[in-house]
Structure 1
Amino acid sequence: MLGRGGRGTQAAPRRPRGVPQPGSGAASAHDGSAVHRTPGGGRPLRIRATPTGTARARRDEKKTRQPLGLDDILRAPAVREWAAQQLRPLTEPDTPRSTTDRRDTLRAWLRCEAQLTPTAEVLGISVPGVRKRLTRLESVLGRSLLQAPSARYDLWLAFRALDVTGADTAR
């Protein structure tokens, strides 16, 4: 007893879509068209299908449409809402000066690629002062800044999204 695919039970190989069956009067050409033989052995007819109407218009539109950039994506209303949610803890009721300090500290830290020494130089404070501010920000945000994985990229994108849309009014 021979099983499926065993000796003596070979099935005919599957023919790819668009390849004519032998004896159907059609033969495949190399350029994707099909050559059909007329009954009675006359001259062969070459037929090639091309998209028309809306399919062609959609294809042409895709070719001419510019790819979206990061700023285009960040302008989406859902992204703006996400960004506001990420930064909302920074603007909760507090003294206006501390809110500005928090945002300035966080922006400077992000601009300095999360490095403490350059951030301290930009802010004009000591490295332990920056570390203390970031530790306070961690508790306000409820996210890690100084330990991996940090919220660095989420916060950078949140600030960028609000800057691009002009929605960051708490500067």
Structure 2
Amino acid sequence: MIFATLLVTAPVVLIPLFLVVRELGMLDSYAGLIIPAIFNAFGIFLLRQFYLGLPKELEEAAVIDGCGHWRVYWNIVLPMSRPILSALAIFFFLANWNAFVWPLVATSDQDLTVVQLGIASFQTQYSSNWNYILAAATIAALPMLTLFFAFQRQIVESVKTSGLK
């Protein structure tokens, strides 16, 4: 059921999500930009696949040694899931860094303008000077390239091991 939510496109969810965020009082705030983007079926699916690949023997050995369920998760499962969590954080950051429609709908404050909205307003301001617009797009891509090269190993390892059993 959770995986089936990936079939629903973003424009279908946009108006109900806006109504929920408005009722919670999170419009024109960082929380209104960040919190709706955190909950995603892709993240749940990726974590599920990773956790299914973890050996049950580690958890059973910890329970035999006297650990409770929370301590097993905190001391064994969570340290082993560091690569998948870092890759998931990078995937979500990339998706939210390139988001255009949700920040356009959820914010009207100029202080909360994200990079893509800034480039779009830059395009309307300097419509004939494409060299400025492409320079802004290049500068907007640099943090993501830096992030990818810094965490390249964790991304590849997490994607490689998430589908194995």
Note whether the superposition's TM-score is higher than 0.5: no
TM range (shorter): under 0.3
Larger Rg: 1
Tell me which protein shows more helix as a share of its residues. 2
Q: Which has the higher contact order (CA 8 A, sep 6+)?
A: 2
Give TM-score scaled by structure 2 length.
0.21
Report the TM-score when normalising by structure 1. Answer: 0.20
